[in-house]
Amino acid sequence: MLARWPGSGARHATACDHYEAPDYLTGMGQVRGSAVLDDETSGETSLKLGFPLSRGAARLAPAALTNDKPTVKSSGQKLSMRGLLHVLWDRAELTHWHPKMAGKRTWFVVRRALLEAAASCRAKQEALSHVLFVPESFRQEEKEEIRARRRAALARVYASRDEMMVVVGEIKEIVAAHGAERIVLRHVGDMPFVMDQDMARRFHKRFAGELALWQAQDGPNGKSGHLILGGSFARRREGTFDLIEVALMPVTAEWLPYETSDERYLVGKAVAEKRRFMKGLRVNLDLDTPIASLVLKDTGEEASAIHIHDRDDEVAEPLEALLAGQGVAHLLWKEGEPLPARVSRAPRRNWDAQQAA
């Protein structure tokens, strides 16, 4: 199996599994070559992070959410926490969808893909896998073995209160507790992240949009969607855990990210129509910078970039510049309109038959 040459995804045929949308359609174009550096010789990717993974003795007090300024800045020099979460999700190909994936994406699959993506990345001069914690699926009959593996995975923060790690997990609930709030992740219910009242206020203010989208998901137990948390964290002397830098990302039941209700509808429509596509991610870009919401891979030799535009007025200049980009067809779309027609793929010929011919 040949690997794709770094940065060459847009030059593959749209029917190829290695096809990737041109970088300019998403936030990857801003960070590739600066915050995300691919080494073609070693196959490793170096990630430059815009947040620390350790803290000095003078900063042992919780630093989580200590100001109201968004952590996400429109800079491609270093990855914000949201940028890291998006890059990991993209490298794990959890932004890709094919009809055959229906019903097969579980947290087990998502976790495995994230860990595989992190295995070839380095950050802060060490392997990203050494500082990344992704909870494994909980099974009652293996709870002691799972707990032992978790303790080993968290050895860095157990060894020193100065050290931090990055957690990526699904939020199960956010609950009030004795004048504070606890964020509980699925599969690690006994490892809550505690926020005092001030931290909780800032958390809800900063992530009001993401929390509203999560709360609007219908269906019990995350059957219609999930809310992903990415965050750096440290361990207190008392054994509780503090979040430092945080990002939230709503995803559908298929674990496909979205950032508005219109995008959720669009992704759901593409899944229901059994389309093949990729979901664009913002990475470090600010919310005012347009990106392609979806790139359909089943529209023939040329992929189709779908841009949500729910107004009848003129297209703003930044979006107009994006629509002028080459390499794909562009479509302005709003709810109620059809997606570009699917073009059937030519059947693959048997290799031995080709050789015999």
Q: What is the pLDDT of residues 267-313, one digit of tens each?
A: 999 999 999 999 999 999 999 899 999 999 999 999 999 999 877 66
- The reported pLDDT for the residue numbered 177 is 83
Cα–Cα distance between 97 and 266 in angstroms, integer? 13
Cα–Cα distance between 13 and 32 in angstroms, integer? 22
Confidence of residue 58 (pLDDT cuts 50, 70, 90): very low
Confidence of residue 344 (pLDDT cuts 50, 70, 90): confident
Predicted confidence (pLDDT) per residue in 212-246, tens digit:
999 998 754 556 899 999 999 999 888 889 999 99
Residues facing 167 on adjacent strands: 133, 231
Task: Look over the chain and give the mean of its residue pLDDT values, rounded to a whole number.
Answer: 87
- For residue 80, being part of any structural domain is answered with yes
pTM for the full model? 0.89
Q: Which string of b and e fits 74-96 if b means at least 16 CB within 10 Å?
A: ebbebbbbbbbbbbbbbbbebbb
Nearest-CA neighbor of 93 among 74, 71, 110?
110
Cα–Cα distance between 124 and 109 in angstroms, integer? 27
Confidence of residue 72 (pLDDT cuts 50, 70, 90): very low
- For residue 357, being part of any structural domain is answered with no
- For residue 39, being part of any structural domain is answered with no
Whether 9 shows a pLDDT value over 70: the answer reads no
Predicted confidence (pLDDT) per residue in 162-220, tens digit:
999 999 999 999 998 888 899 999 999 999 998 888 888 999 999 999 999 999 987 54
| Least confident residue range of 57-66, 94-103, 329-338 | 57-66
- The reported pLDDT for the residue numbered 133 is 98
- The reported pLDDT for the residue numbered 345 is 67
Whether 34 shows a pLDDT value over 80: the answer reads yes
Nearest-CA neighbor of 263 among 313, 216, 207, 322?
216
- The reported pLDDT for the residue numbered 67 is 40
Percentage of the chain beyond pLDDT 70 is: 85
Pairing of strands 45-47, 121-123: parallel
- For residue 188, being part of any structural domain is answered with yes
- For residue 307, being part of any structural domain is answered with no
- For residue 289, being part of any structural domain is answered with no
Percent of residues in the chain assigned helix, strand, coil, to nearest 5: 30, 25, 45
| Domain around 85 | 60-95+106-254
Tally of domains in the chain:
1
Whether 60 shows a pLDDT value over 70: the answer reads no
Residue 65: CB partners within 8 Å, gap ≥ 6?
195, 199, 202, 203, 206, 243, 246
Nearest-CA neighbor of 194 among 156, 133, 244?
244
Whether 156 shows a pLDDT value over 60: the answer reads yes
Cα–Cα distance between 45 and 141 in angstroms, integer? 38
Whether 14 shows a pLDDT value over 80: the answer reads no
Cα 145 → chain centroid: 29
Higher pLDDT, 72 or 188: 188
- For residue 348, being part of any structural domain is answered with no
